[in-house]
């Protein structure tokens, strides 16, 4: 007998029929003798609607009230799933973040989990064989006693944190895809589902654009060494052998992965914007004058490239920011123009970042060089490059995203055969 967390995303609980389907998945695990805590998202589209309502009510709204509103989506689905389970004769009880409690920081709309008390839930497994149905995405700040939320996609993080708190054997994430792929299968039909992926690689994939899991949930899995299994909620519950190995991807520690490739996967993101400052005087303090104000404005700068200007005397500096911060970043820089002392500001929003990820890169040289050659053969111009130990990224014209991803997927032997 084991202990499981089962997390279901918005499409899996989009209506009462699907909630009933979820209940059958839960019943299967309960019947197999497991202790089960379920974490649910809001019904698909619900959180977006709630966010829009807040904006409609007032564009500059209080973040505490935003959280009070958007946390309600998960309150509904947790209650409904408990009802559906009870209807099948299974002991079940819903839990809101504040009831457990899931204690978080006071950073409303992007709070971080500080502590979860799993005692009551564990006691009820033992005494009553009761399934806990927990509202994902939400918590409570212990100082203010106000409801908080964990940022969009946060119920993944709720699930992994709860799994750690109740010392579950595994955290199953049921979603609308049947696992983690080498890249987005909608772009590369030959993308392969990975049986296993290391936390580190998954962390990069998620941070660099793969939308399967909230980044923070992967971090938590890594910190607590909690195996996370991504699997489909659309498989018929009755068709699944609870003792067999269902299709899906296990995110686990590197040591558990026997066969490993140099490159694990390719991610891409079109939500990038590029800003280039031309003809800056090449002297100490310039970078600080540029990036200091951006940091103060809470704008995340990603890639940075510095090169000699056309005149051969001054320097050009190019960097990227999330597309959503582009206007603010531009204004911030323009406001500091006198201090920075650049001659011209060029920018582009039709750019995208393509990233190649693999912890195997640590022990292999020349992995990136191969990509640069392959991209040039396709006439794809690289605007900027960044590298780290287990990944590299290139910034290119957005129009070439698909071609670049496909080219690299084939180049590194990731295509399905
Ligand atoms: N319902 C929340 C959202 O849409 C949390 C989640 O689904 O993970 O962001
Ligand atoms: Mg999600």
* Cα 291 to the center of its chain, rounded Å: 26
Q: Could you please report the per-residue DSSP string of 203-241? A: HHHHHTT--SS-HHHHHHHHHHT--EEEEES-S-GGG--
Cβ atoms within 10 Å of 125's Cβ, excluding its own: 18
| pTM of the model as a whole | 0.92
Closest CA to ligand 1's atom 9: 152
| CATH 3.30.2130.10 domain position(s) in the chain | 266-411
Q: Could you please report the per-residue DSSP string of 59-128? A: TT--HHHHHHHHTHHHHHHHHHHHHHHHHTT--EEEE-GGGTTEEE-S-TTS--EEEE--HHHHHHHHHH
| 3-state secondary structure string across 321-383 | EEHHHHHHHHHHHHHCHHHHCCCEEEEEEEEEEEEEECHHHHHCCCHHHHHHHHHHHCCCCCC
Question: Which CATH number applies to 3-255?
Answer: 3.40.1160.10
| CATH 3.40.1160.10 domain position(s) in the chain | 3-255
Question: Do strands 315-322 and 265-280 pair parallel, antiparallel, or not at all (unpaired)?
Answer: antiparallel
Closest CA to ligand 1's atom 6: 153
pLDDT at position 414: 96
pLDDT at position 5: 98
For ligand 1, mutation pick of 8, 11, 45, 47 (most atoms within 8 Å of CB): 47
Hey, what are 201's tokens? Answer: 């690689």
Distance CA(229)–CA(5), nearest Å, equals 10
Q: Is 149 in the pocket of ligand 1 (CB under 6 A)?
A: no
Hey, what are 168's tokens? Answer: 């579950």
Distance CA(200)–CA(265), nearest Å, equals 12
pLDDT tens digits along 106-160: 999 999 999 999 999 999 999 999 999 999 999 999 999 999 999 999 999 999 9
The strand pairing partners of 231, in sequence order, are: 174
- Please list the ranges in the chain whose pLDDT falls under 50: none
pLDDT at position 413: 95
Distance CA(217)–CA(156), nearest Å, equals 6
pLDDT at position 112: 97
Q: Could you please report the per-residue DSSP string of 294-324? A: HHHTTPPP--EEEEE-TTSSSEEEEEEEEGG
Nearest partner of 214 among 265, 183, 168, 173, judged by Cα: 173
For ligand 1, mutation pick of 46, 73, 216 (most atoms within 8 Å of CB): 73
Hey, what are 75's tokens? Answer: 């309150």
Q: Which helix (H) or strand (E) holds 37?
A: strand 35-40
pLDDT at position 236: 82
pLDDT at position 46: 98
Measured from the CA of 151, which atom of ligand 1 is nearest? 9
Q: How far is CA 88 from CA 10, 83, 240, 277, 347, in A?
A: 22, 9, 18, 64, 58
Q: Name the 3-class secondary structure at 282.
A: coil
> What CATH superfamily is the domain 266-411?
VC0802-like (3.30.2130.10)
Residue with tokens 């696992």: 179
């Amino acid at each position: 007998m084991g202990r499981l967390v089962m997390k279901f995303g918005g499409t899996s609980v989009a209506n009462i029929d699907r909630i009933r389907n979820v209940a059958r998945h839960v019943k299967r695990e309960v019947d197999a003798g497991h202790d089960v805590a379920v974490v649910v998202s809001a019904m698909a589209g619900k959180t977006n609607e709630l966010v829009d309502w807040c904006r409609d009510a007032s564009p500059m709204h209080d973040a505490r009230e935003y959280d009070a509103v958007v946390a309600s989506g998960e309150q509904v689905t947790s209650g409904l799933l408990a009802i559906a389970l009870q209807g099948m004769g299974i002991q079940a009880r819903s839990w809101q973040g504040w009831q457990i409690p899931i204690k978080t920081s006071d950073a409303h709309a992007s709070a971080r989990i500080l502590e979860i008390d799993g005692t009551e839930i564990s006691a009820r497994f033992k005494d009553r064989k009761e399934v806990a149905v927990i509202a994902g995405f939400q918590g409570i700040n212990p100082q203010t006693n106000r409801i908080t939320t964990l940022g969009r996609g946060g119920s993944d993080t709720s699930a992994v944190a709860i799994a750690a708190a109740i010392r579950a054997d595994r955290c199953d994430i049921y979603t609308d895809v049947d696992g983690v792929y080498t890249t987005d299968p909608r772009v590369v039909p030959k993308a392969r589902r990975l049986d296993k992926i290391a936390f580190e690689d998954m962390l990069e994939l998620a941070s660099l654009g793969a939308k399967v899991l909230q980044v923070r949930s992967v971090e938590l899995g890594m910190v607590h060494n909690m195996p996370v299994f991504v699997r489909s909620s659309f498989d018929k519950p009755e068709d699944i052998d609870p003792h067999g190995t269902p299709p899906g991807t296990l995110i686990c520690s590197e040591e558990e992965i026997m066969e490993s490739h140099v490159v694990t996967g390719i991610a891409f993101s079109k939500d990038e914007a590029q800003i280039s400052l031309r003809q800056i005087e090449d002297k100490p303090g310039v970078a600080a004058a540029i990036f200091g104000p951006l940091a103060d404005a809470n704008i995340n700068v990603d890639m940075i490239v510095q090169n000699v200007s056309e005149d051969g005397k001054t320097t050009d500096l190019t960097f990227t920011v999330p597309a959503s911060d582009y206007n603010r970043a531009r204004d911030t820089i323009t406001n500091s123009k006198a201090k920075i002392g650049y001659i011209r500001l060029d920018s582009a929003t039709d750019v995208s970042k393509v990233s190649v990820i693999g912890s195997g890169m640590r022990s292999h040289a020349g992995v990136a060089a191969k990509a640069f050659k392959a991209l040039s053969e396709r006439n794809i111009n690289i605007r900027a490059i960044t590298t780290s130990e287990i990944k590299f990224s290139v910034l290119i014209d957005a129009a070439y995203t698909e071609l670049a991803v496909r080219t690299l997927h084939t180049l590194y032997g990731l295509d399905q055969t």
